[in-house]
């Protein structure tokens, strides 16, 4: 197996979809905050000998997601992060080579699901991986619209305790999770630069980050939460709740000491006042996010809650047939509630990362944000409000434009704008996991593959 970071796309799905729900309900509140104190719990695993900080390949060419058409190298392995007296602690990854003729020259995409606390196997098997889970959840089928058509794909279960990863669940903020994931990337012992580093020719690893992608993400709660108030009544499909319910939510947002004031208080502390931030999450999700969804699925408003699509991964990913092939030590879970609880208690949900996003855009990194118009939990109205609040060299040009149709093989599949190195596309008929859906004459994930391929080819979004 060879991992090259010649060019890197980091893709973050800040939340993500699965049948039983990735964002837990706490006291019947979607995205609620537990009342217990921050805790450290261990997700157990079979004993295994590892070296801290050294990448280990557990299985190569396991036969998972392989057909006669695409017999490409793939590997399932671990990033051991620490070694304790009791157990190893490791983030798990799954790597797939690009289906292109020369995978070594193809870019590498790092895929991270959010939750917080949700497995990146959701992205792999429900969204854009080389195979998709079957409707009966017992197997997989070839995905012709996989993103490894144009890129090597690396799916990481992070932070520790999520998905196939295991160990003490100590992480409670995005910054802590990012620090652990950075260590994971540094453990890629087959990077081309490692030999030069060991010879002292260069001082450190330089990541050629070319693209950042965010799919249906929460970046700026202050600008995005009003989107729940408008989307609940004005989305193009149907009202989710009554006018009276929205009016109550409107009061909860704008009243003195309400949701808006609480989020502003969290922002003022730069996320460091965890009491204020967690109170903002608890209040806003109890009064606005949760009730304004009505009886509809928060990830796909065309279905009532719960929507059985995309199919549940647990029967397949916990089967002995699969685990024996990949050599996993821990039982897979789609969402680790202990990790979620730690994040909820710090109120990380309500922190503002728009400033960091602006820095990335201003540095010249090509950035794409995409959103499905049938997603409520991170709906396009809130996302577009966040985009319009960005202060970058591209903002004026973006706002001056009108949306253009995003056509895929002759089918209008959404609308888009390009502004310098910034790109945005809203996909029609798609829920929270955009590549998991089809629209009109298109096949599942076809529209998503087109915008991904264009961005990875250093091209602006365009119609075909």
Domain coordinates of the chain in residue numbers?
Answer: 1-219+299-464
Taking residues 12-40, report their average pLDDT: 65
**What's the whole-number average pLDDT of the chain?**
85
> Residue 161: its pLDDT value, please?
86
Burial of 317 (0-12, 13-18, 19+ CB in 10 A): buried
Distance, CA of 224 to CA of 104 (rounded, Å): 40
Which range is least confidently modeled, 14-18, 125-129, 389-393, 398-402?
Answer: 14-18
Q: Is the dihedral of CA 238, 241, 245, 249 positive or negative?
A: negative
State the average pLDDT over residues 143-150. 94
Q: Averaging pLDDT over each range in 7-16, 41-50, 180-189, 391-400, which range is the top one? A: 391-400
Tokens of 392: 């970058």
What was the pLDDT predicted at 168? 77
DSSP helix, strand, coil percent of the chain (3-state; round to 5):
30, 20, 45
Average of pLDDT values for 395-402? 97
Q: What is the DSSP letter of 241?
A: S
Phi and psi of 309, rounded to 5°? -115, 140
Q: Helices 226-234 and 380-389 sit at what angle, rounded to 10 degrees?
A: 140
Res 359: pLDDT? 97
Give the count of beta carbons closer than 10 Å to the beta carbon of residue 92: 29
Q: Which of 154-158, 159-163, 288-292, 339-343 has the highest mean pLDDT?
A: 288-292
pLDDT at 65: 77
- % residues pLDDT > 70 (the chain): 79
Q: Predicted confidence band at 40 (pLDDT cuts at 50, 70, 90)? A: low
Fold exhibited by the domain 1-219+299-464: Rossmann fold (3.40.50)
Q: Tell me, what's the pLDDT at 39?
A: 57
Mean pLDDT of 72-96: 53
Three-class DSSP category at 432 = coil
Range with top average pLDDT, 146-160, 226-240, 333-347 = 226-240
pLDDT of residue 16: 29
Residue 18 has pLDDT above 50, yes or no: no
CA 306/CA 135 separation, integer angstroms: 15
Q: How confident is the model at residue 197 (pLDDT cuts 50, 70, 90)?
A: low
pTM of the prediction?
0.88
Mean pLDDT of 444-455: 98
Query: Is a pLDDT exceeding 80 seen at residue 15?
Result: no
pLDDT at 205: 58
The residue-averaged pLDDT of 22-30 equals: 87
Using DSSP bridges, classify how beta strands 8-13 and 209-215 pair: parallel, antiparallel or unpaired.
Answer: parallel
Least confidently predicted of 96-110, 144-158, 384-398: 96-110
Of residues 166, 149, 118, 130, the one with CA closest to residue 343: 118
């Amino acid at each position: 197996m060879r991992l090259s970071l010649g060019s890197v796309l980091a893709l973050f799905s800040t939340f993500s979809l699965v049948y039983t729900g990735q964002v837990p309900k706490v006291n019947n509140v979607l995205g609620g905050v537990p009342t217990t104190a921050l805790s450290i719990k261990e997700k157990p695993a079979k004993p295994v000998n590892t070296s801290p900080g050294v990448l280990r390949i557990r299985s190569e060419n396991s036969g998972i997601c392989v057909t006669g058409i695409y017999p490409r190298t793939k590997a399932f392995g671990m990033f051991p992060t620490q070694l304790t007296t009791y157990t190893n602690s490791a983030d798990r990854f799954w790597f797939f080579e690009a289906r292109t003729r020369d995978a070594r020259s193809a870019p590498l995409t790092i895929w991270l699901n959010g939750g917080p606390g949700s497995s990146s196997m959701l992205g792999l098997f429900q969204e854009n991986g080389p195979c998709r889970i079957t409707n009966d959840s017992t197997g997989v089928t070839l995905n012709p619209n996989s993103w490894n058509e144009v890129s090597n794909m690396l799916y990481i279960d992070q932070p520790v305790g999520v998905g196939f990863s295991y160990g003490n669940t100590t992480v409670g903020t995005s910054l802590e999770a990012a620090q652990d994931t950075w260590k994971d990337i540094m453990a890629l012992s087959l990077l081309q630069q490692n030999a030069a580093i060991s010879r002292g020719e260069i001082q450190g690893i330089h990541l050629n980050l070319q693209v950042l992608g965010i799919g249906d993400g929460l970046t700026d709660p202050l600008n995005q939460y009003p989107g729940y108030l408008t989307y609940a009544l004005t989305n193009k499909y149907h009202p989710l709740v009554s006018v009276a319910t929205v009016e109550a939510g409107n009061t909860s947002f704008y009243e003195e000491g309400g949701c808006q004031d609480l989020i502003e208080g969290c922002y003022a502390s730069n996320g460091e006042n965890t009491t204020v931030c967690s109170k903002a999450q608890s209040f806003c999700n109890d009064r606005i996010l949760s009730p304004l969804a009505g009886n509809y699925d928060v990830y796909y408003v065309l279905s009532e809650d719960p929507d059985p699509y995309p199919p549940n991964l647990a029967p397949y990913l916990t089967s002995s047939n699969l685990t024996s092939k990949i050599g996993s030590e821990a039982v897979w879970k789609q969402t680790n509630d202990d990790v979620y609880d730690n994040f909820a208690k710090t109120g990380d949900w309500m922190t503002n990362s728009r400033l960091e996003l602006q820095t990335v855009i201003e540095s010249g990194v090509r950035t794409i944000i995409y959103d499905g118009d049938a997603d409520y939990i991170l709906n396009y109205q809130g996302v577009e409000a966040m985009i319009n609040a960005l202060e970058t060299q591209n903002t004026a040009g973006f706002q001056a434009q009108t949306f253009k149709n995003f056509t895929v093989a002759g089918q209008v599949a959404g609308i888009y704008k390009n502004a310098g190195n910034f790109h945005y596309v809203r996909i029609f008929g798609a829920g929270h996991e955009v590549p998991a859906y089809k629209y009109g004459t298109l096949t599942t994930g076809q529209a998503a593959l087109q915008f991904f391929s264009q961005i990875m080819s250093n091209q602006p979004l365009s119609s075909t």
